[in-house]
């Protein structure tokens, strides 16, 4: 994991739930348990502030950093993707997005492509995107966020349609997403992390070791929301490993969180309140051997 990723994961999992602001000194102490030196922390926070992720405030020789509204929204979106559970029964409808953005607006086209991918859309053809979930309201919001107030500017059309055939739907899914590669990535993650999470469940680490382990766990799992479209079970390959990986991740996360929260609070003097970000109910031990 990069220093940048570690910092953002720490803010997303802890600082955001403790008021959203933290002094540079306690932040350096927290990141120190992950092997990040104070000079590296100071340099990175200066850079992230210049990029608009944080604001800073100085009182004498002390500097503190606060999450900007933009980063708050990004962290909420990422958290929602990481901790979401599978949808219920699928009604067979595909949400289709079609647009035409001219070459002179390439930056907008690329930004829209990235945002649709993050929402779980796949592309069977240029400028055509599909999702197995109805995300019309989300697409309208992201267009506004990208500065598109009139969809006619980009020739964008949204519609719901269906094939009436599960076999055809599965072909569409394989054309839009590299499901076998995603499944293999899940399996590799499970093989790497299952022994560690078994150890965490049996004897959770304490103090800074718990926080470092939790941030590392989240950091390695965080890639999956970017590549997994969260398709209905009917469209997934046999022996899909995503659910096992999620259950295993949750088992490790919840085993580490109490000690990690306690150490965070002791180090920073700030209480962690996750009441507004409750984790979804799930069989969190399903990824562990019985």
- Give the domain CATH number at 35: 1.10.10.10
Please report which confidence band the pLDDT of residue 78 belongs to, taking 50, 70 and 90 as the band edges: confident
Average pLDDT, the chain: 90
Q: Are residues 269 and 182 in the same domain?
A: yes
What is the 3 state secondary structure string of 73-142? HHHHHHHHHHCCCCCCCCCCCEEEEECCCCHHHHHHHHHHHHHHHHCCCEEEECCEEEECCCCHHHHHHH
Residues in a beta bridge with 59: 62
Q: Are residues 139 and 215 in the same domain?
A: no
Give CA separation, 245 vs 27, 81, 143, 286, in Å. Answer: 30, 14, 32, 9
Query: Which tens digits make up the pLDDT trace of 39-59?
Result: 999 999 999 999 999 999 998
Which of 14-18, 80-84, 88-92, 281-285 comes out lowest in average pLDDT?
281-285
Q: Are residues 62 and 19 in the same domain?
A: yes
| Phi (first) and psi of residue 289, to 5 degrees | -60, 145
Domain count for the chain, please give it.
3
Give CA separation, 133 vs 32, 89, 163, 187, in Å. Answer: 42, 11, 15, 25
Please report which confidence band the pLDDT of residue 290 belongs to, taking 50, 70 and 90 as the band edges: very low
CB 112 within 8 A of CB 146: yes
Q: Residue 5 and residue 264: Cα distance in Å, rounded?
A: 18
Alpha carbon dihedral 25, 30, 31, 32, in 10-degree steps, equals 80
CB 81 within 8 A of CB 277: no
**Which of 126 and 281 is assigned the larger pLDDT?**
126
| Phi (first) and psi of residue 144, to 5 degrees | -60, -40
Instruction: Count Cβ atoms below 10 Å from residue 280 Cβ, excluding itself.
Output: 10
- For residue 84, the model assigns a pLDDT of 73
Q: Would you say residue 4 has pLDDT above 60?
A: yes
Query: Which tens digits make up the pLDDT trace of 240-251?
Result: 999 999 999 999
166's tokens: 């599960």
What is the DSSP track for 6-28? HHHHHHHHTGGGGTSEEEHHHHH
Q: Are residues 188 and 219 in the same domain?
A: yes
Q: Are residues 187 and 266 in the same domain?
A: yes
Give mean pLDDT, residues 89-117: 92
Q: Percent of the chain at pLDDT above 70?
A: 93
Q: Percent of the chain at pLDDT above 90?
A: 72
- For residue 82, the model assigns a pLDDT of 84
Domain boundary among 12, 38, 71: 71
Asked if residue 169 is part of any domain, the answer here is no
Q: Residue 151 and residue 146: Cα distance in Å, rounded?
A: 11
Q: Is the dihedral of CA 225, 13, 21, 46 positive or negative?
A: negative
Q: Residue 223 and residue 105: Cα distance in Å, rounded?
A: 28
Start-to-end CA distance of the chain, whole Å, equals 31
Please report which confidence band the pLDDT of residue 152 belongs to, taking 50, 70 and 90 as the band edges: confident
Contacts of 102 (CB under 8 A, 6+ apart): none
Q: Would you say residue 87 has pLDDT above 60?
A: no
Structural domain harbouring 14: 3-71
Please report which confidence band the pLDDT of residue 283 belongs to, taking 50, 70 and 90 as the band edges: very low
Give mean pLDDT, residues 12-18: 95
**Which of 207 and 83 is assigned the larger pLDDT?**
207
Domain boundary among 39, 71, 103: 71
């Amino acid at each position: 994991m990069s220093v940048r990723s570690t910092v953002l994961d720490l803010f997303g999992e802890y600082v955001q739930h403790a008021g959203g602001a933290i002094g540079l000194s306690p932040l350096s102490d927290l990141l120190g348990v992950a092997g990040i030196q104070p000079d590296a922390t100071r340099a990175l926070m200066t850079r992230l502030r210049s990029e608009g992720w944080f604001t800073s405030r100085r009182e004498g020789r002390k500097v503190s950093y606060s999450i900007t509204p933009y980063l708050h929204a990004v962290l909420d979106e990422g958290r929602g993707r990481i901790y979401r559970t599978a949808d219920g029964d699928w009604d067979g409808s595909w949400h289709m997005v079609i647009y035409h953005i001219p070459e002179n607006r390439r930056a907008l086209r690329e930004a829209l492509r990235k945002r649709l991918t993050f929402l779980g859309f796949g592309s069977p053809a240029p400028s055509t995107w599909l999702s197995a979930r109805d995300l019309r309201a989300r697409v309208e919001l992201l267009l506004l966020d990208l500065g598109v107030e009139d969809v006619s500017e980009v020739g964008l059309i949204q519609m719901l349609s269906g094939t009436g055939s599960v076999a055809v739907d599965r072909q569409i899914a394989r054309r839009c997403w590299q499901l076998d590669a995603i499944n293999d990535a899940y399996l590799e993650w499970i093989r790497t992390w299952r022994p560690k999470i078994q150890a965490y469940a049996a004897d959770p680490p304490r103090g800074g070791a718990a926080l470092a382990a939790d941030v590392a766990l989240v950091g390695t799992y965080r890639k999956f929301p970017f590549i997994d479209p969260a398709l209905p079970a009917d469209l997934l390959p046999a022996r899909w490993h995503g659910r096992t990986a999620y259950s295993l991740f949750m088992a490790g996360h919840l085993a580490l969180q109490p000690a990690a929260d306690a150490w965070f609070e002791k180090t920073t003097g700030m209480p962690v309140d996750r009441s507004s970000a409750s984790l979804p109910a799930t069989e969190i031990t399903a990824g562990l051997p019985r």
